[in-house]
Each structure stands twice: as C-alpha cells, then as structure tokens.
Chain A
Amino acid sequence: MEILKAQNAAFSYVNRYQRVDAVKNASCVFETGKVYAIVGKSGSGKTTFLSLLAGLELPSGGTVLFRDTPTQKLDRDRYRREHAAVIYQNYNLFPLLTAEENVLYSMNLKGVRGKAARARAKKELHAVGITPEQFKRFPPQLSGGEQQRVAIARALAAENELILADEPTGNLDAANGEQIVSILLRLAHEENRCVIIVTHDRDLAARTDEILVMRDGVLERER
C-alpha cells in the first residue's frame, strides 16, 4: 500500500554566496511492507532527501506526500511523532538519559506512559540485543553499536509505520550491522512497515526490496 510519495521534489541550500541544488526533481513511491535503499556517493543528496521524507525540511520545489497529503500541509511535528521514525547515523540519543529513558521518551511523546511503557521499552531494547545491565547506562557509557541499537529500539518502540534510517550500520561492525539489518527487514516484511534506508553499503542495499540511486541530486530507480 502506498504510504509516501515524492513528486518532482527538489531542495536547495541557499546562502549569501551560493545555491546548491541538493535534490533535483526526485520522484518515487514508497509502500508499506517494503524496504527501500537509497544509495549514492557522499554529498549526492541522500540525507537531504531523507530529511524531506521525514518532514524535517520542506521541498523547495515539487511535493512530498504522506498518504496523499503534502508535507507542507501536515502538522509535521505530529507526523514525526506518530508516523515517521528517524534513525540517524550518529545515533542522536539524549546524553543525559539512560538507554531505557531514551526509548521511553518517544513513547511518552505519543502518550504511552507508566509500567506498560517501561515493559515495552525493555522488550524493544532486548529485541535489539541490549542487555538489562545496559538499560540504565547513559549513551556515553555504551559503544557505538550499542548506541545505534538503542536508537533503533527507540524507533521500534514508537511503533511508527514509516522508518527512515540514515546509514544505520555505518558505524557498526559486521555482526552488529547484520543484526540491525535483520531487524529492519523483519519490521517491513512481518510488521508491514515501510523502511527507507540511506546507505553506502551495496551489500545491504542488495538485500532490500528496491534500490534507488541518488546521483548529484537526481534520483533514479536501479531495481
């Protein structure tokens, strides 16, 4: 089922001295139950395109539609809170909250609180391989792989139908990376979510359902 659509979406970074067209007329359709990989060189506009899909930026041309509603017309805070979860390459965890509290935070934002929320947070942390001893640790006390898994647990706990991951395995070793990829594939195929992964990793991209290539801001379908 179609959930997200880009129609000639464009985005430019403009400052006093120059204008950089990061995304040029990108069009594609994303469906639930599928995993998409967006590949491309560094600086090709992959992360910017992901930001447009996440509603973190608005396209300067064209539109991005979530369930046929342009993101310009959406309550984008609510959209990110209830529909789209973003996983960042550099984890972006709250440094002053423990692993468990980081996961609880996104649930609390959706109004899920109390014992049920804590139980679910623990379950999701456990699912990504975080041990109970690590639940109470602060992000700086966790390794990069562990932090990334906490970030994924946070996205899982939010139960959003759209998961946007920016280089989720970029900082992980092969074993941890494999575990994360398996989780993301399972989310799409078993829980009918739409997972969009921005990656350099061709092997990871090969395991997804569709591959989109970003070249100098132009999006092309590879498979």
Chain B
Amino acid sequence: MEGTILKRLIRRPWLSLTGFLVGGALCLLLCLLTLHLDRQQAHLEEVRNSYEIRAVVSDVRGTKTDRLFMSYRYTDFLRDEQNGLGAYVRDLRLTKSFDMNAPFGTGKAVGVTNERCAAALDPKAGGAWYAETEDFFESSERICLVSEVYYEALAGQDVSLTLTDGYAIGEGKGEYPFKVVGWYKGEGTNVYLPYPTSQIIAGQLAEAPSTDSACFIVKDNERIDEMLAVAESMFRKVDPGEAQGRAFALTVHDRQYKATIASMEQNIRRTAYLFPLIALMTLCVGFTLGILGTRRETRTYALMRSLGVGRFRLLCSVLAEQMLMPLLAAGVVAAILARPLPALLFAACHFVGCVFSVLRPVTVAPTKLFREQE
C-alpha cells in the first residue's frame, strides 16, 4: 500500500512537484513571518532595555532646571534605595555651582557627580578631561580640574579660589586652596570640583549644602509609573500656574519612548494578525490541492473501495498521498530555517484542508462515484 502511494506520486510528477512547491512556499511564508515577529520582539526588547529616559528636576513651574538651590533632603531622596528613588535611578547627575574668583580669572566652580554633568567634560558632547587622581568625582579632597590652557602652568600646584554660594543668606563667601589635578578640554576659566567637595564647601558657606541641578536616567523603563508613585512624596508635577516656592517637580521625558514602544507593539500585533490569515490560506490551499488531486483520482478511489479497501484505510491512503509532498517541503524549509512550529501549524492546517477534500470519495458509495464518472 505504502509502495503504491510512492509509485503513484512518482508517476504523476507535476502534481507532486506542485504539492512540494506550494507546501514549501506556504511553510516558508509562515517561517518568515515568525522570523520577522521574533526580530520585531527582539528589537522591542532592545529598545525597552537600552532606551535612555531622562528625568529632570525643575522648579514647580517648570521654568528652570539650574540654580534650584535644592536642599540635601531632595538629593538624599534621589539616592535612597529604601525609601527614595535610588532603586529607579541610574547615572545620577548632580551639580553645585559657586561664583569664583581665581588668579587666572573669574568664572564658576562647579561640583559634578560625573563627566556627563558638563558638556566640557562629556566625551559624547565633544568634551574631554583628565585627572591624575583616581575616582576624581567621588573625592572629598580640595582638588579641581582647570581648562587645558591653564593646566600646563598650574599642574600639581595649589590655587586659591574665592567661592561665593548664591544659596547663602549672608555673604556666603570664602577662600579655599585647591590642588590642580587635571584638565578639561577648552579655554574657559571655569573650574570643576568633585561633587562631595562642593557639598562640604557649600555647608561651610551657607550652613546647609544645596544642589543646583539634578537629573538622572531611569534604571528600568518598565517601572516608570512605579517610580513616579514613589516620587510623589517628595516631588510635584509641573504646574505653570503654581506660585514659586521651595517645591520642586520631577519631569520624566518618556513621551518619545512610549510612542516608540506603542508603535512597535502595534506593528507586532499587525504582523501577528497575519498568522490566522496565512493559516486559513494554508487550509484553503490544502483543500484546493486535495480537491484537485481527488477529483482526478475519484475513479481510482472508487475502485479501491470496490476491491475491498476500507473507508479508514482509504482515508489514510489518500491523505498520505495528498500530504506527503507538501509535508516533505515543509520539513525541508523548517529544517533549513530551524523553525519547527510554523511547519507544524502548516501541517495541521493542510491536514484539515485535505480531510475536507477527501471526505466525499471516502464516504460516498463506490458505485455512485463510478456512475458519476461515466
């Protein structure tokens, strides 16, 4: 019986080849669709994990993000992993500026937590810096970076800087010796200090340390809402009509991120909608191929019944004949693309289509089929 099926398949090569090609094409379509979906999912995950969402602290009216003179309570809250935002924060950028008088000119002395706090230091913004001291930004020493034009003359020397803290109620002025330990790219007269050092000096000049600006990158983009709920206890939402006071707002710049994610998710959904369509198409093609195959062979099937082949055996035989080549093609495609699932889906849909097409020759009495043929 099995040998007969193979012989019949070999002896009608065009129909077999058509089954092979159509089966292969449909399975390929399903495989490519799953590949495309997987790629889109991977891309979505990559965006979710790598997209940098910036959160910025501003005054409550949203008019400024610098010279905020935030008390240490806010910066502590941003760093606190237990009761604050520490668990949601990555790459926290805090700055504290003083008006400065130095032997080489006037400018600002800016305490920074990392190189991304200032464009002159940030390589991504075209800046550059060098410090002889390791962990410059974490240091509490009186060390500083000057611009590269002054560094040659001042390297390793102490310079006396007169600093004024705008947050101080009184004069808030003091003179401090700083050791020049490095340089930053440019010709400015500004000086960069480690943030901890700036907080010590601010504490001395204004009785309480303060911070001028704060921003950070959200650590986990999927937990923004959770983060905002925690932030509510310390920060408010931007309200342009609010009276200026000592309150601060936290703005998360996630609009573009959310739009990007929504757009990608919509694309994935649209692609996924194609699955049932292609499955239905596979079913219809299975049915059509089955009908084409069985119509040609109705007399053969009637003859098989009249020779004593049972209905179930005939059904198996016809299905095997109809499905062998398409399944072979699907198997080849699935093996090459390492995608067994689409091949199984194809097989299931093709099977259903073929079963519908062979029901009649299997169930109708052979004499009736003979009469129809005659």
Contacts and interface: CB of A to CB of B under 8 A. Distances in A.
Interface of A: 51, 54, 56-57, 77-82, 86, 88, 90, 92-97, 101, 105-106, 108-109
23 contacts: A51-B367, A56-B306, A56-B366, A57-B367, A77-B305, A77-B309, A77-B311, A86-B306, A86-B307, A88-B370, A92-B303, A92-B306, A92-B370, A93-B303, A96-B11, A96-B12, A97-B7, A101-B4, A105-B307, A106-B307, A108-B1, A109-B307, A109-B308
B310 interface: yes
Contact of A97 (B4, B308, B367, B370): B4
B300 A94 contact: yes
Contacts of B311: 77
Nearest to B308: A81
Interface of B: 1, 4, 7-8, 11-12, 299-300, 303, 305-311, 365-367, 370, 374
Nearest to A91: B303
A109 B365 contact: no
A80 B1 contact: no
A177 to B, nearest CB: 22
A81 B367 contact: no
* Max chain B C-beta neighbours (<10 A), residue from A51, A54, A78, A93: A51
Contact of A82 (B308, B365, B366, B370): B308
A54 B306 contact: yes
A77 B308 contact: yes
B361 to A, nearest CB: 14
A63 B7 CA distance: 40
A106 B4 CA distance: 12
A166 B71 CA distance: 109
B245 to A, nearest CB: 91
A85 to B, nearest CB: 8
A205 B285 CA distance: 52
B326 to A, nearest CB: 19
A93 B307 CA distance: 11
Which 6 residue pairs across A and B have the least CB separation, nearest first? A81-B308, A80-B308, A77-B310, A96-B11, A96-B8, A56-B367
Contacts of B366: 56
Contact of B308 (A78, A92, A93): A78
Contacts of B8: 96-97
Nearest to B366: A56
A80 B304 CA distance: 10
A43 B196 CA distance: 112
B109 to A, nearest CB: 95
A80 B307 CA distance: 6
A181 to B, nearest CB: 23
A76 to B, nearest CB: 8
A183 B366 CA distance: 27
A82 B308 CA distance: 8
B303 to A, nearest CB: 5
Contacts of B306: 54, 56, 80, 86, 92
B308 A105 contact: no
A43 B50 CA distance: 84
Nearest to A51: B367
A92 B12 CA distance: 19
Contacts of A108: 1, 4
A51 B307 CA distance: 12
Contacts of A57: 365, 367
A189 B365 CA distance: 33
Contacts of A86: 306-307
A97 B1 CA distance: 12
Nearest to B300: A94
Task: Give the one of B8, B12, B307, B311 with max A CB within 10 A.
Answer: B307
Contacts of A90: 374
A95 B11 CA distance: 10
Given A80-B306, A90-B374, A92-B306, 20 more contacts: A54-B306, A56-B306, A56-B366, A57-B365, A57-B367, A77-B305, A77-B311, A79-B308, A80-B308, A81-B308, A82-B308, A94-B300, A95-B300, A96-B11, A97-B4, A101-B4, A101-B7, A105-B307, A108-B1, A109-B308
Nearest to A78: B308
A86 to B, nearest CB: 6
A81 B300 contact: no
A164 B192 CA distance: 110
Contacts of A95: 300
A86 B300 CA distance: 15
A29 B298 CA distance: 34
Contacts of A56: 306, 365-367
A96 B11 CA distance: 6
Contact of B309 (A79, A93, A101, A109): A109
A92 B366 CA distance: 12
Contacts of B309: 77, 81, 109
Nearest to B311: A77
B331 to A, nearest CB: 24
A94 B305 CA distance: 12
B313 to A, nearest CB: 8
A105 B1 CA distance: 8
Contacts of B305: 77
B325 to A, nearest CB: 15
A77 B365 CA distance: 12
Contacts of B299: 92
Nearest to B310: A77
A108 B309 CA distance: 11
